[in-house]
């Protein structure tokens, strides 16, 4: 078990207001999950953009990598170029590319909205 989990369990045992402590643990776990999801999706998006520039635009990798580094950090542009890379370089459908790049964020948003609605007032 991680140190955060141990601290959460100890604070639950010591404290009488368990629902608030569980909410805080869920909140921190949700933020961690969102950061890990964003990191993994950024890496996949980076490689999809490199492949887009190499395969579809016929750039050499020496040019494609810096362009991908620059464009992957721009939220909408990076996502659209990543989707284009998945479609044109990896031969995916547009719906599969959309689910790859936008699906985890949609699911995370829905779970965050549910957690907010169920949070103790």
pLDDT tens-digit map of 39-96: 888 899 999 999 999 999 999 999 999 999 999 888 889 999 999 999 999 999 999 9
Show Cβ contacts of residue 59 under 8 Å, excluding neighbours closer than 6 positions. 53, 67
> pLDDT tens digits for 58-70?
999 999 999 999 9
Average pLDDT over residues 35-41: 81
Q: How far apart are CA 94 and CA 100, in angstroms?
A: 10
Percentage of the chain with pLDDT > 70?
72
Indicate the SS3 state at residue 65. helix
Tokens describing residue 37: 């999801």
- The CB density around residue 6, as the number of other CB atoms within 10 Å, is 10
Q: Give domain limits for the chain.
A: 30-118
Residue labelled with tokens 């207001």: 17
- Does position 29 have pLDDT exceeding 70, yes or no? no
- Does position 1 have pLDDT exceeding 50, yes or no? no
């Amino acid at each position: 078990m991680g140190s955060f989990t141990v601290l959460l369990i100890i604070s639950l045992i010591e404290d009488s207001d368990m629902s608030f402590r569980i909410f805080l643990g869920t909140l921190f776990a949700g933020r961690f999950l969102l950061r890990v999801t964003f990191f993994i999706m950024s890496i996949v998006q980076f490689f999809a953009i490199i492949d887009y520039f190499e395969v579809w635009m016929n750039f050499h990798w020496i040019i494609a990598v810096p362009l991908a580094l620059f464009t992957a950090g721009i939220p909408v542009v990076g996502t659209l170029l990543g989707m284009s890379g998945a479609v044109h370089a990896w031969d995916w459908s547009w719906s599969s590319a959309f689910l790859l790049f936008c699906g985890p964020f949609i699911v995370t948003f829905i779970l965050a909205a549910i957690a907010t609605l169920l949070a103790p007032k």
